[in-house]
Amino acid sequence: MGAKRLLPAGHASVDFYQGVVPVLVPFLVAERDYGYVAVSGFVLAASLLSSVVQPLFGVLTDRWAMPWLVPAGTLAAGLGVALIGLTESYPLALAAIALTGFGVAAYHPEAARLARAVTGGDHVGMSWFSLGGNVGFALAPVLATPVLAAGGLAAAPFLLLPAVLGTLIMLPLLGRRAGGTTRSSGRDDWPAFRVLSAVVILRSVAYIGLSSFLALFVQQRIHPGEAAGGAALFVLFTAGAAGTVLGGRLARRWGRVRTMRGAYGVAVLAIAGVALVPGPALYGFVAVAGIALYVPFSLHITLGQDYLPNRVGTASGVTLGLAVSVGGVLAPALGALADATSLRTMLAVLTIFPIMALVLAGRLREPARLEASVRLT
């Protein structure tokens, strides 16, 4: 199997564990009687280390070759989820989930560097690498919900299997690295990169806030039980996978920045629909929200790498790392808002974040070296 196929498969295996965290939430509530704020702590634990440490890993990989972080990070992500089923202690369970966040942080910068080398920096090629991660997200409720429904949290160690498979898949790539191909004589555009980073953070808050509480919301509004919540997460994650590929295609025609702006405009309406539209139609708005929030996903990565051509690891660690993690930092605040008001109100408040992302995206411009190719396509 070629490197272009191995990379998405490996990405799926590690981001599977990001998708498992919201799947765990209803089971933690049911088996351990945790409230919204308490279960938000698990989202925070999985996210905080990743959002803080991942840029540091990016800086380190700009200085030293550390391809071993790809399989090591995958195994750590799986071990964290597995260990949560082996302890009844809330602090130890939080530590286990934090290990998952640490593993995700270690994996992404080096994997994104390798993906840039394999794809030549093409944003469509990067969309396929990103698709692997989104497929992992989408498979999480499909694979994890039946396992946990059958055996409860005690069955969580069985969820280590994807990490083992992902590690074996990535081992043949340990000798390959982007190396000097990621260096550039171009100038780093830090002001644009800072604006882009803020956009990534706002998108992350909206998406992780939605995915963390969607299952519980659907159980309240449509049908009680884990199956309805798991189905909603599957729709969200699958739509996200479709949005990732669509983003690369749209960027070829319209440019990355223009595509990003349109996606955030659609996301505002879609999230409002999730919160306010009654009945099964909610699933349709979940799908649109997933697509809109993931259309910019791979575009953030390639834009960041092009804004910082001499700091590809740093750019990858920030854009890819913040996208999958930093939103969890605000999860406890969102949980507290839901406790004080309702899940519906909290989801409605999430529309504020894509609105702000849209405003900031208006300040971004396509990197000069790609503007001509965008016009030609």
Q: CATH no. for residue 251?
A: 1.20.1250.20
DSSP 278: -
Question: How much is the pLDDT for 377?
Answer: 34
Distance between CA atoms of residues 65 and 74, nearest Å: 18
Looking at the structure of the chain, the number of domains it has is 1
Distance between CA atoms of residues 245 and 11, nearest Å: 15
64: phi then psi, degrees, rounded to nearest 5: -135, 145
The gap between the terminal CA atoms of the chain, to the nearest Å, is 30
How much of the chain is in helix, strand and coil states, percent to nearest 5? 85, 0, 15
Question: How much is the pLDDT for 300?
Answer: 92
Pick the closest to residue 103 from 211, 204, 16 (CA basis): 16
DSSP 187: P
Cα distances from 179 to residues 73, 161, 175, 308, 310, in angstroms, run 20, 31, 11, 16, 12
Cα distances from 150 to residues 232, 234, 235, 259, 296, in angstroms, run 19, 18, 22, 42, 36
Question: What range does the domain containing 57 cover?
Answer: 3-376
Question: How much is the pLDDT for 182?
Answer: 43
Cβ neighbours of residue 228 under 8 Å, at least 6 residues apart? 215, 218, 219, 222
For residue 6 the two structure tokens come to 């191995």
Question: How much is the pLDDT for 113?
Answer: 79
Full pLDDT tens readout for the chain, 377 residues: 566 677 888 899 998 998 888 788 888 888 887 877 788 788 777 777 766 788 888 888 888 878 888 889 999 999 999 998 888 888 888 888 889 988 988 888 888 877 777 776 666 777 888 888 878 877 888 899 999 999 999 999 999 999 999 998 888 766 555 444 444 557 889 999 999 999 999 999 999 899 888 988 988 887 766 677 888 988 998 898 889 889 988 998 899 999 999 999 999 999 999 999 888 889 999 999 999 999 998 899 889 988 988 888 888 888 876 666 667 678 788 888 998 999 999 999 999 999 999 999 999 998 865 443 333 33
Question: How many Cα atoms within 13 Å fall on the side-chain side of residue 56?
Answer: 9
